[in-house]
Homo-oligomer: A and B are copies of this chain.
């Protein structure tokens, strides 16, 4: 059964660059690069296979959505052993929300993997999240469930999911950290600067200093988000002292 039609509409050099970028993104050499090409083919590209069937990420996105749900549910099951189904459902909704997936797709700059729409139209904002889900399915089809599950943990959960924050126990790590510094009369400083590199998306880097020592670093698509992540990292570094 021909579930992954071979497509070759990238020129050789573009192929090489695409392959290397997928390798950097996922952390391994793709076995079947065609799957990733489909994952980053937007419907607006109007690609079809020789039988006239549409080729785009939509079927992969559908599969990725279900796989993401399973992986996140398993993560929550293991990490919230005392939560009942109601709370697990709520937590999962927050993690796999459209808003959240769009944020992650944007952070990973996934749109830059796709061919730009041919017309003057831009991708919709939801394309960020769509590409993320399609990528998950591509990894699953190329390398299996276990590697896909690890990718989700590495790229989504370890960076963007903070259970204490989602459970409403902590609303802002930045406030928490500042409070702790003030209480202890420590000098702190957030240094933020633009750091987009070659990316199509604007990035901000943040260094958080206590005295002259860097205690947290991060890079994200907004200054506020980067400060929050740096504060969270600093918080966990110092948490025994803070609590």
Task: Report, nearest first, the 10 A-B pairs whose CB atoms are least far apart.
Answer: A70-B70, A66-B73, A145-B145, A62-B85, A66-B70, A3-B81, A63-B77, A66-B69, A67-B70, A63-B73
**Which of B59, B67, B69, B149 is in CB contact (< 8 Å) with A84?**
B59
B73–A85 CB distance below 8 A: no
Given contact pairs A59-B88, A89-B62, A53 touches B74 in the complex (Cβ within 8 A): no
Residues of B with C-beta under 8 A to A137: 77
The distance in angstroms between the C-alpha atoms of A62 and B146, with both chains bound, is 20
Asked if A79 CB lies within 8 Å of chain B CBs, one says yes
Asked if A82 CB lies within 8 Å of chain B CBs, one says yes
Asked if A1 CB lies within 8 Å of chain B CBs, one says yes
A58–B84 CB distance below 8 A: yes
A78–B1 CB distance below 8 A: yes
Asked if A212 CB lies within 8 Å of chain B CBs, one says no
The distance in angstroms between the C-alpha atoms of A74 and B149, with both chains bound, is 15
**Which of B3, B58, B89, B145 is in CB contact (< 8 Å) with A85?**
B58
**Chain A interface helix/strand/loop/mixed:** helix
* Minimum CB distance partner of A146 in chain B: B145
Asked if A190 CB lies within 8 Å of chain B CBs, one says no
* Minimum CB distance partner of A85 in chain B: B62
A74 to chain B minimum Cβ distance, whole angstroms, is: 6
Convert A25-60 into 0s and 1s, putting 1 for each residue whose CB lies closer than 8 angstroms to a CB of B. 000000000000000000000000000011000110
Residues of B with C-beta under 8 A to A140: 74
A64 to chain B minimum Cβ distance, whole angstroms, is: 9
Residues of B with C-beta under 8 A to A2: 81
A41 to chain B minimum Cβ distance, whole angstroms, is: 15
The distance in angstroms between the C-alpha atoms of A82 and B52, with both chains bound, is 10
A82 to chain B minimum Cβ distance, whole angstroms, is: 6
* Minimum CB distance partner of A62 in chain B: B85
The distance in angstroms between the C-alpha atoms of A26 and B1, with both chains bound, is 29
A38 to chain B minimum Cβ distance, whole angstroms, is: 12
